[in-house]
Amino acid sequence: MDADTMAGGMTYGSGAARVSVAIVDDHPVVLEGVRSWLSADPRLEVVATGDNVEAVRSAARADVILLDLRLHGRMAVDEVSELSAAGQRVVVYSEHHEPNTILAVLDAGAVAFLAKHEGRDHCVETVLAAAADRPYVPPSLAGAMVGDRRSSRPALSEKEREALLLWFQSMSKASVAKRMQISEHTVKQYVDRARIKYARAGRPAATKSALLARAIEDGLIRPEEIGTYRSYASPDRPLP
């Protein structure tokens, strides 16, 4: 384990908040490469690295943990579940980017998935989005999900789809309610109803990321639709 800085959570440099990141990978070359990518961005600070989860977990509580899915010859899905249950934002990155694998780690609580071949820009953007609790779908991930029309695809009403889309665009449920001119309770009902439909179809989506993945996978939401933040939240008007 190597800890650059032992500060946990958001750190501050030159007055600007930086996102703290811990990286876990059992390949030193990959570890150093990803560390170099992230350290070069002034918005990010790598606070710990290690070849296993325990090394990083004991070093600092980072805003985001970037976790290689395959560690020492086995898939680390259980570690994803444990870290997520403990309140950590986990971004899984892996060379294994089959749709079933992606959905498995999202169902385990990961906030995002990044294929290792995506490159630096997508790595940085995925980490920043995860820290802000904002969805981000790299192209290959979108490509892997779009087009699957399995028979268990749930049908959403237009209102349910609209509420989900606005929520995925990083709006709070209160902002979605204001945009749609309905109550926040109704927005929550729309989101819960979508989750229930997926659960009944045998494809549960417990987390926001998992629900987004399902919606993209089924063609209910297009990846390009979530890329623009258009909140009606304060100052109560959409961004230009």
Is 11 part of any domain? Answer: no
Identify the residue whose tokens are 């990961």. 110
Distance CA 219, CA 153 (A): 9
Q: Are residues 34 and 138 in the same domain?
A: yes
Is the same domain home to 128 and 72? yes
For the question of whether the overall pTM of this predicted structure is more than 0.85, the answer is no
Domain co-membership, 114 together with 77 = yes
Q: How far apart are CA 75 and CA 176, in angstroms?
A: 37
Same domain as 86, residue 31: yes
Which of 103, 134, 90 has the alpha carbon at shortest distance from 227?
Answer: 134
104 is a domain residue: yes
| 129 domain-assigned | yes
Inside any domain, residue 76: yes
3-state secondary structure of 235: coil
CATH assignment at residue 164: 1.10.10
Identify the domain boundary among 81, 116, 147: 147
Total domains, the chain: 2
Q: Are residues 118 and 166 in the same domain?
A: no
Residues 219 and 139 in one domain: no
Question: What's the rounded Cα separation, in Å, for the pair 179 and 92?
Answer: 33
Span 214-232, pLDDT tens digits: 888 888 888 888 765 454 4
**pLDDT tens, residue by residue, 57-101:** 776 689 999 999 999 999 999 999 888 888 888 999 998 888 778
Residue 152 lies in a domain: no
Is 108 in the same domain as 195? no
Asked if the structure places residue 239 within a domain, the reply is no
**Both 163 and 140 in a single domain?**
no
Residue 234, pLDDT above cutoff 50: no
Q: What is the pLDDT of residue 12?
A: 40
Q: What percent of the chain has pLDDT over 90?
A: 29
Start-end of H helices in 59-147: 77-85, 99-107, 120-131, 139-145
Instruction: Give the residue with greater pLDDT, 143 vs 202.
Output: 202
Query: Which of 22-26, 126-130, 142-146 is modeled with the greatest confidence?
Result: 22-26
Domain boundary among 121, 147, 173: 147
Question: Do residues 89 and 43 share a domain?
Answer: yes
Residue range of the domain that includes 170: 158-225
Q: Which of 147, 182, 203 is the last residue of a domain?
A: 147
